[in-house]
Amino acid sequence: MTDGWVLAAAAALIATGVQDAQTSEPAQDQPSSPSLVLEAPEPTAPAAPEAIVRNAETYAAYHADVGSAGRRELRSGADLDATMDELARYYDGDRLVDAQIAYAALVAAQNPEFIDAVRAVADYYGAGVARAALMDDPIYVTGFMGADVAQENVFGAINEDVTSIRAVGDRYRQAAYELQNETWAGRRARDREARLEALETASDRLDVNFTATADAESGVDAGPSLDAPARSGPSLGSAPLSSASSMFSDFGVPAGTALPDLQVNVGEQQLEPDERRMGQMLSVAALQSIEAGDMSALDRMLGDPAVERCITWARLTMAQCIAAGHFKYEDSFCIAEHALNDVADCLTASRPVSN
């Protein structure tokens, strides 16, 4: 009886071994399918849709041109014209507004705790319900786990960008006084009609082909690449995103340029994040993490009519300033006040501290 039980157990073990071998080793006459073994991935932000990436590239390209304007030596009227034309290309319609929101969304999407919280809500309530809530009330997303850190990152990035724009604006305001001693700048400008036409059609000549990579000839490292970036994630290169202006190590005014000292006044009104604007930017980041296929919701969330009107007004007042000017040095003042400082005011994401 015992011998029979032992033989049965041995037979069972042999059968199990054969079955395991058949399962683990493919038949010799059938080619095995190739397998790809990956290491456990580190947490990354969700891959961004094409529209988000392209708009973010436009925002980075704009700040590249602002930086170029800050470094430009003003030796002739053509230098001032080049600055006006380069900046005016971005001030048509909702182009720069969409670009800033898209870029800010990519900054926010780098926070894994925030994105995980968004996906958890979408999994629990359903993507459709989460999408409707995000679109109905942008402030809703600011209560998610990790949203405070994401908002802080976005707010810091935008503040740094706006500060950089204003620094270049200060440089051109100062140049408006210094250029009065230059013969070419003190001559009466007779190109007003052509100048206004160039500004009116500047947006038609915008061709964003932005790649912030090292220049092989100059050796200058301009920062992370934005060439078809977020197909590998919205880091837009090897380094995490912060402000767009921080991509350029030589961003700003030329060395040796004297600018007015900033003064801090006692009792000056303090600023805090604009909760509605920040919520919209975080909502775009949230939507891109749960949307699949239909990007219409994202398209609708990119716009901000109030900021669009603000930039349109800045462009119009710049044109009026140019039309009213008689000398080329006055163009430098128009650039400072309207093409730079007014636009910086439009793009800010802060508001006075509420009592």
Note the pLDDT tens digit of each residue in 181-198: 999 999 888 888 888 888
Q: What is the pLDDT of residue 321?
A: 94
Amino acid at residue number 261: D
Q: Is residue 15 part of a domain?
A: no
User: HSE on the CB side for 39, CA within 13 Å?
Assistant: 2
pTM of structure: 0.76
- pLDDT tens digits, 19-37: 444 444 444 454 444 444 4
Token representation of residue 193:
């009609």
4 within domain boundaries: no
Q: Of the candidates 109, 83, 93, which has an alpha carbon nearest to the alpha carbon of residue 58? A: 93
Quote the pLDDT of residue 355.
Answer: 61
Is the pLDDT at 314 greater than 90, yes or no?
yes
Greatest CA span in the chain, whole angstroms? 120
Separation of alpha carbons 255 and 265, rounded Å: 27
Res. 145: pLDDT tops 90 = yes
* Residue 226, token pair as written in the block: 């934005």
**Spatial distance between the Cα atoms of 45 and 295, rounded to a whole number of angstroms:** 18
The whole-number pLDDT of residue 249 equals: 62
Confidence band, pLDDT 50/70/90 cuts, at residue 241: confident
How many structural domains is the chain composed of?
Answer: 1
The answer to whether residue 251 scores a pLDDT higher than 70 is no
**Residue 173 structure tokens:** 């305001």
Percent of the chain with pLDDT over 90: 48
User: Is the Cα dihedral 117, 123, 127, 132 positive or negative?
Assistant: negative
Q: For residue 212, is it within any domain? A: no
Q: Is the pLDDT of residue 42 over 70?
A: no
**Per-residue pLDDT, 119:** 94
Both structure tokens of 75: 């030796």
* Strand ranges, E, within the chain: 271-273, 350-352
Question: Could you give the count of Cα atoms lying within 13 Å of 272 in the half-sphere of its Cβ?
Answer: 6
Q: What pLDDT is stored for residue 300 in this prediction?
A: 80
Token representation of residue 97: 């507004």
Question: Per-residue pLDDT averaged across 142-167, rounded?
Answer: 95
Reduced to 3 states (helix: H, G, I; strand: E, B; else coil), residue 143 is: helix
- Highest average pLDDT, of 193-197, 243-247, 310-314, comes from 310-314
Say which DSSP state 245 is in: G
Cβ within 8 Å of residue 277, ≥6 positions away: 304, 307, 349
In a domain, 232, yes or no: yes
User: pLDDT tens across 204-220, in order?
Assistant: 777 776 553 433 333 33
Domain assignment present for residue 308? The answer is yes
Question: Tokens 């200058």 appear where?
Answer: 220
Q: What are the tens digits of pLDDT across the range 263-292?
A: 444 455 567 788 899 999 999 999 988 876
**Confidence band for 83, pLDDT divided at 50, 70 and 90:** very high
How confident is the prediction for the chain on average, in pLDDT? Answer: 78
CA 202, 208, 212, 217 dihedral sign is negative
Q: Which residue has the tokens 């296929």?
A: 293
What angle is formed at CA 252 by the lines to CA 248 and CA 255, rounded to 5 degrees? 115
Asked whether the beta carbons of 145 and 117 are under 8 A apart, the reply is yes
Mean pLDDT of 223-248: 55
pLDDT surpassing 80 at residue 79: yes
Our CA angle for 131, 137, 139, nearest 5°, is: 115
Q: Is 66 part of a structural domain of the chain?
A: yes
pLDDT at 86 over 90: yes
Query: Containing domain of residue 331, as a range?
Result: 45-204+227-246+272-352
Does the residue 348 lie in any domain?
yes
Residue with tokens 């163009």: 331
- Tokens standing for residue 353: 């501290």
Q: Is residue 54 part of a domain?
A: yes
Q: 134 Cβ partners below 8 Å, 6+ apart?
A: 140, 141, 283, 286, 287, 297, 301
